[in-house]
Amino acid sequence: MGVIENNVIEVSALSKSFHDGDLNVTVLNDVNLLLKARERIAIVGASGSGKSTLLQLLGGLDKPSQGEVVLCGNKLNNLADNVRGKLRNQHLGFIYQFHHLLPEFTALENVAMPLMVRNESVKKIQQQAKDILGRVGLKDRTQHKPSELSGGERQRVAIARALVTQPKVILADEPTGNLDSKTAAQVSDIMMELNNELDTAIVMVTHDMGLAETMDIVYELKDSVLTTS
């Protein structure tokens, strides 16, 4: 299936169930979703409703029980793990509630890591990492380790790391959930600015309805079903 109408992600009849002893727990049921280039969508819902599970399926980090995810024209379900990994590196950036930076490495080194698997020169990789750190306002913090950065700065490094590969889509799981309201607003503003500058689509899971309402479309996940909110 090719990319239709500039869709970067196409989800068809997606379902996910888990077995718990004799119980079969359905987390997602017949989910359908289209994400266009540059589009920003939010997914809201109660804790445990399956939002993070859906994000993992969109990113090819887990396989559905039924249905299909197509990323930039590539059907993820039946691909070998190494091929899925290459597609993730090429097309996706991930941002989580906790920054997951490696403590022994500098901001620059952390941001450069997604590029290290590519056959490019170290000089070019470092320049790309410096450029994106500059875009998130950390030009003077490239040599600082995570312990030397504030919470907001660490999350900005995480955003830079997600964007350094110039992905088609950012998958963000509660990206401001661990920040105070002022810092959260600053981080969300940076994400929106970069969405416009870099033409990167965003799928964001969030409990923050104020943040969700800044997106193009808000979906709600309730009773395993995804609907427009």
Residue 117 lies in a domain: no
Give the pLDDT score at 109.
93
Inside any domain, residue 40: yes
Asked, for residue 200, whether it belongs to a domain, the answer is yes
- Cα–Cα distances (Å) from 43 to 69, 122, 189, 225, in that order, read 17, 37, 18, 12
What pLDDT sits at residue 4?
A: 41
| Measured distance CA(68)–CA(11) in Å, rounded | 6
User: For residue 130, is it within any domain?
Assistant: no
Q: What is the mean pLDDT of each run of 10 residues along the chain (229 residues)?
A: 65 87 84 91 85 89 88 85 84 83 93 84 90 88 93 88 88 81 79 81 88 90 84
- CATH number assigned to the domain comprising residue 176: 3.40.50.300
pLDDT, residue 229, reads 65
Q: Which amino acid is located at 97 in the chain?
A: Q
The answer to whether the beta carbons of residues 11 and 34 sit under 8 Å apart is: yes
Instruction: Please count the structural domains in the chain.
Output: 1
* Domain interval for residue 30: 7-100+162-228
